């Protein structure tokens, strides 16, 4: 009985070592994976920051102003505003 | 009886034993064999399992895992983004390559210096050579903050000893449009002027490697990029049109003190920190004090009404010049007859303003201006505002000249903030570059309401000032009639101040300003436009007075920005 217990203990130790090693290896890989992802996130964050800056640069008023004027557009004139009342109602069908 | 087999040196006792096999009893030998078999099996199983485990792990190895050597990043200060009131990006951080050299690894110094100076035209050849000559050093910056394009070009040179390090750099996507307000940062991304400095001192920066986008909440300014650009464009146009040496304009919310636009030309570029050191590029709104001339008459009339000297219909005899000591004050324009207070304002009579000032008295005038905030020391988030230059003695002479805007130099921004109280119902406001939190309806600083301590003027006086300011633009005799912006109710006052020089005031060098508010039925915004040393042109028929240049500039500015500010034109308002 005792012997069986010893054997079982040895076997379970080996099994535990087996599992432990597996877990440890998984952890190492996950950590490395995580670091990779984190670096990727930082890289993407920086890319996003650059893209946002580029978008803001493209949307800067100086540029839009020039482009709009080239299209013949200009600032809204006061006369371009109208009230709803000045819009003719839809005429009745004949 | 089989002899026991010696299978292992682990049992030396058996091997070296001289005892006959018979000495080992049968059950013992059997037990031994069984034990050996078990041990052997265990050894095989354990080695097998290890082999199996390794095989298993080897087989499912993740192919995407790479060896990871992080690119060297120097520790930096991540700064929050700065955005305008509508969330448009004004300043942000990005990682940019910086070029450094390891002098010990450089093979041909001459070639390196030659190639680099050819690539970067403004790189100083001698200092570069000096910094790379010392081979005991292992690190020397060559240039920081390269564009990706430049970095690629350096990389393509293939010179040994050169390498990159990625650093956080501040970029200003909107360019120089709000240079004076934003300020600038130094090479290590620390704010050294303007809002950037405020960010360091009040908001906080984060020592880190990464871009700040996710890390820090953006700093939202009260500026509106569109309005800022509109004002800047119109000012630049005015500078050209009237051949002025400089120009400045501020647009302020009269109820909250939020600065919507703040432009001073010639401007500074936040990307060029050296710009800030040039006196010619100083911020004219907050960095310098000027005698602003007749726009001060708005204060004088407000003072007269507030002191109860009379109504707008009270008449003053302005036909005779006012003598204060040896100083003679007379009017060059306007009708030669007695004028009402309203007409004094419309004709911009210096004599009339002087009489009002004298009637109120020096101490009342000083106290009144103090209460409005013209004389105190103020600061905004962009830094301190230049302190007003007060007369040495606030005597009779000072009182008369200050009544029409001479003898007291004040920063335009400070004057604009004080003037806001004249049109907003009498509530003192504090100029700010940050959006104010909308207050509770019951406590809002609307006309008639507001905390008592902030009230510097009665609502009635403010109402009367609105009337004459509007009249000054609509009336045929008003000096501000060219400030009429089609469709919008603009009111304002002109001011043409001669610039004091070494030998008294210069006649031909003036600062012409226009203080305006709109829409005049319920003023929301105030503008103060100043042109520095404008010249007479054909358009102005040779005139250099504010009515001929600053007033029409204001009209153009208001026509441009009113739609952006959501101010509806007259027919809908």
To the nearest whole number, what is the mean pLDDT of chain B? 85
- Residue B523: exposed, middle, or buried by beta-carbon count in 10 A (0-12, 13-18, 19+)? buried
Alpha-carbon distance B313 to nearest alpha carbon in chain A (angstroms): 34
Long-range contacts of B152-156 (CB under 8 A, 24+ apart): B153/B119, B154/B99, B154/B116, B154/B119
Convert the pLDDT of each residue in B464-515 to its tens digit: 999 999 999 999 988 999 999 888 999 999 999 988 877 777 668 899 999 9
Q: What is the rounded distance in angstroms from the CA atom of residue B156 to the CA atom of residue B297?
A: 66
On whether the CB atoms of residues B187 and B96 are closer than 8 A, the answer is: no
Considering only the beta carbons, identify the residue of B65, B209, B560 that sits closest to A29. B65
**pLDDT value of residue A77:** 85
Residue B451 pLDDT grade (very low, low, confident, very high; cuts 50, 70, 90): very low
Residues with Cβ within 8 Å of B44's Cβ and at least 6 positions away in sequence, in order, are none
The answer on pLDDT for B294 being more than 70 is yes
- CB within 8 Å: B89 and A46: no
**pLDDT value of residue B441:** 46
- CB within 8 Å: A56 and B88: yes
Paired tokens of B118 = 């050819």
- CB within 8 Å: B66 and A36: yes
Which residues of chain A are modeled with pLDDT < 70? 91-94
Considering only the beta carbons, identify the residue of B42, B92, B572 that sits closest to A49. B92
Alpha-carbon distance B185 to nearest alpha carbon in chain A (angstroms): 17
DSSP state of B69: -
Residue B445 pLDDT grade (very low, low, confident, very high; cuts 50, 70, 90): very low
On whether the CB atoms of residues B93 and A42 are closer than 8 A, the answer is: no
Q: Where are the alpha helices (DSSP H) in B162-270?
A: 179-182, 194-198, 225-241
Q: B346-355, B438-447, B502-511 — which is least confidently predicted?
A: B438-447
Residues 230-259 of B with CB under 8 A from A: 230, 233
- If we measure between CA atoms, which residue out of B261, B239, B82, B254 comes closest to residue B173? B82
Which SS3 state, helix, strand or coil, does residue B261 take? strand
Q: What is the rounded distance in angstroms from the CA atom of residue A89 to the CA atom of residue B269?
A: 53
The answer on pLDDT for B75 being more than 90 is no
- If we measure between CA atoms, which residue out of B124, B97, B125, B112 comes closest to residue B157? B112
Closest residue of A to B47, CA-based? A14
- CB within 8 Å: A75 and B560: yes
Q: At what angle do helices B225-241 and A61-70 cross, to 10 degrees?
A: 70
- CB within 8 Å: B486 and A29: no
Closest residue of A to B215, CA-based? A45
Closest residue of A to B147, CA-based? A50
User: Domain boundaries in chain A?
Assistant: 2-72
Which SS3 state, helix, strand or coil, does residue B250 take? strand
Which chain A residues have a beta carbon less than 8 Å from that of B214? 45
B121 vs B40, more confident: B40
On whether the CB atoms of residues B190 and B53 are closer than 8 A, the answer is: no
Q: What is the rounded distance in angstroms from the CA atom of residue B391 to the CA atom of residue B443?
A: 38
Q: What is the rounded distance in angstroms from the CA atom of residue B33 to the CA atom of residue B187?
A: 80
The answer on pLDDT for B67 being more than 70 is no
ipTM metric: 0.76
Considering only the beta carbons, identify the residue of B174, B571, B572 that sits closest to A60. B174
Paired tokens of B192 = 């050294």
A78/B contact by beta carbon, under 8 A:
yes
The answer on pLDDT for B552 being more than 90 is yes
Q: A3-12, B16-25, B327-336 — which is least confidently predicted?
A: B16-25
- Residue B482: exposed, middle, or buried by beta-carbon count in 10 A (0-12, 13-18, 19+)? buried
**pLDDT value of residue B553:** 95
A35/B contact by beta carbon, under 8 A:
yes
The answer on pLDDT for B204 being more than 50 is yes
- CB within 8 Å: A33 and B95: no
**pLDDT value of residue B128:** 87
The mean pLDDT value for B140-164 works out to 87
Q: What is the rounded distance in angstroms from the CA atom of residue B251 to the CA atom of residue B262?
A: 7
The answer on pLDDT for B387 being more than 90 is yes
Q: Would you say how long chain B is, in residues? A: 573
Q: What is the rounded distance in angstroms from the CA atom of residue A72 to the CA atom of residue B190?
A: 43
Which chain A residues have a beta carbon less than 8 Å from that of B56? 22
**pLDDT value of residue B448:** 37
Winning range, highest mean pLDDT, from B58-67, B157-166, B206-215, B271-280 = B157-166
Convert the pLDDT of each residue in B297-330 to its tens digit: 999 999 999 998 889 999 998 888 888 888 888 8
Residue B79 pLDDT grade (very low, low, confident, very high; cuts 50, 70, 90): confident
Alpha-carbon distance B68 to nearest alpha carbon in chain A (angstroms): 7
On whether the CB atoms of residues B243 and B534 are closer than 8 A, the answer is: yes
Residues 125-184 of B with CB under 8 A from A: 171, 173-175, 177
Q: What percent of chain B has pLDDT over 90?
A: 45
**Beta-strand runs (E) in B319-427:** 322-324, 327-329, 339-340, 379-380, 383-384, 409-410
On whether the CB atoms of residues B526 and B515 are closer than 8 A, the answer is: yes
- CB within 8 Å: B559 and A77: yes
Residue B69 pLDDT grade (very low, low, confident, very high; cuts 50, 70, 90): very low
Q: Within 13 Å of residue B317, how many CA atoms lie on the same side as its CB?
A: 3
* Displacement of CA B114 from its chain's centroid (Å): 39
The mean pLDDT value for B71-77 works out to 57
- CB within 8 Å: B211 and A49: yes
B206/A contact by beta carbon, under 8 A:
no
The answer on pLDDT for B167 being more than 60 is yes
The answer on pLDDT for B353 being more than 80 is yes
* Displacement of CA B374 from its chain's centroid (Å): 23
Convert the pLDDT of each residue in B256-265 to its tens digit: 999 999 999 8
On whether the CB atoms of residues B80 and B217 are closer than 8 A, the answer is: yes
Alpha-carbon distance A28 to nearest alpha carbon in chain B (angstroms): 11
A65/B contact by beta carbon, under 8 A:
yes
- CB within 8 Å: B68 and A36: yes
A14/B contact by beta carbon, under 8 A:
yes
Closest residue of B to A17, CA-based? B50
Paired tokens of B299 = 């204060």
């Amino acid at each position: 009985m005792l012997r069986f217990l010893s054997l079982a203990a040895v076997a379970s130790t080996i099994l535990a070592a087996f599992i432990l090693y597996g877990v440890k290896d998984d952890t190492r890989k996950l950590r490395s994976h995580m670091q990779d992802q984190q670096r990727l996130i930082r890289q993407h964050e920086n890319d996003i920051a650059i893209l946002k800056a580029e978008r803001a640069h493209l949307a800067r008023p100086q540029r839009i102003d020039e482009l709009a004027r080239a299209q013949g557009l200009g600032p809204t004139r006061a006369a371009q505003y109208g009230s709803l009342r000045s819009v003719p109602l839809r005429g009745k069908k004949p | 009886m089989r002899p026991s087999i010696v299978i292992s040196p682990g049992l030396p006792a058996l091997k070296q034993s001289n005892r006959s096999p018979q000495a080992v009893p049968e059950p013992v030998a059997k037990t031994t064999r069984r034990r050996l078999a078990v041990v052997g099996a265990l050894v095989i199983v354990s080695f097998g399992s290890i082999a199996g485990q390794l095989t298993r792990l080897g087989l499912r190895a993740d192919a995407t895992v790479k060896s990871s050597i992080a690119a060297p990043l120097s520790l930096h200060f991540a700064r929050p983004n700065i955005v305008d009131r509508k969330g448009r990006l004004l300043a942000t951080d990005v990682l940019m390559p910086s070029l450094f050299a390891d002098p010990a690894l450089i093979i041909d110094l001459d070639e390196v210096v030659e190639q680099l100076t050819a690539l970067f035209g403004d790189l100083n050849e001698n200092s570069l050579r000096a910094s790379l000559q010392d081979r005991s050093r292992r690190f020397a910056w060559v240039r920081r903050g390269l564009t990706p394009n430049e970095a690629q070009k350096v990389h393509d040179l293939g010179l040994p000893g050169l390498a990159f390090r990625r650093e956080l750099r501040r970029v200003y996507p909107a360019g120089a449009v709000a240079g004076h307000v934003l300020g600038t940062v130094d090479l290590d991304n620390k704010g050294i002027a303007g809002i950037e400095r405020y960010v360091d001192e009040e908001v906080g920066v984060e020592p880190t490697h990464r871009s700040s986008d996710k890390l820090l909440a953006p700093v939202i300014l009260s500026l509106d990029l569109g309005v800022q650009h509109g004002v800047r464009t119109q000012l630049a146009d005015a500078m050209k049109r009237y051949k002025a040496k400089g120009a400045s304009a501020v647009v302020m919310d009269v109820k909250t003190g939020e600065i919507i636009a703040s432009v001073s030309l010639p401007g500074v570029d936040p990307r060029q920190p050296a710009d800030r050191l040039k006196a010619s590029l100083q911020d004219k709104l907050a960095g310098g004090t000027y005698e602003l001339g007749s726009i001060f008459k708005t204060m004088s009339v407000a003072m007269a009404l507030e002191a109860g000297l009379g109504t707008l219909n009270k008449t003053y005899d302005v036909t005779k010049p006012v003598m204060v000591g040896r100083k003679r004050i007379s009017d060059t324009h306007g009708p030669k007859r007695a004028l009402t207070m309203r007409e004094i304002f419309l004709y911009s009579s210096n004599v009339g303003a002087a009489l009002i000032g004298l009637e109120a008295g020096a101490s009342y005038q000083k106290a009144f201006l103090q209460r409005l905030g013209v004389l105190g020391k103020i600061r905004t988030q962009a830094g301190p505002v230049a302190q007003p230059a007060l007369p040495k003695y606030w005597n009779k002479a000072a009182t008369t000249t200050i009544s029409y805007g001479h003898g007291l130099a004040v920063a335009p921004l400070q004057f604009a903030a004080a003037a806001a109280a004249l049109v907003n119902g009498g509530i003192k406001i504090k100029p700010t570059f940050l959006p104010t939190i909308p207050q509770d309806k019951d406590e809002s600083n609307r006309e008639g309401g507001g905390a008592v301590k902030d009230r510097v003027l009665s609502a009635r006086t403010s109402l009367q000032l609105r009337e004459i300011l509007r009249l000054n633009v609509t009336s045929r005799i008003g000096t501000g009639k060219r400030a009429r912006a089609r469709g919008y109710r603009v009111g304002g006052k002109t001011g043409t101040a001669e610039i004091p020089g070494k030998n008294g005031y210069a006649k031909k060098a003036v600062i012409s300003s226009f203080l305006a508010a709109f829409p005049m039925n319920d003023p929301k915004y105030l503008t103060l436009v100043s042109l520095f040393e404008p010249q007479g042109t054909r358009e102005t028929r040779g005139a250099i007075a504010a009515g001929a240049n600053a007033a029409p500039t204001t009209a153009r500015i208001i026509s441009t920005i009113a739609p952006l500010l959501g101010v509806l034109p007259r027919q809908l308002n």
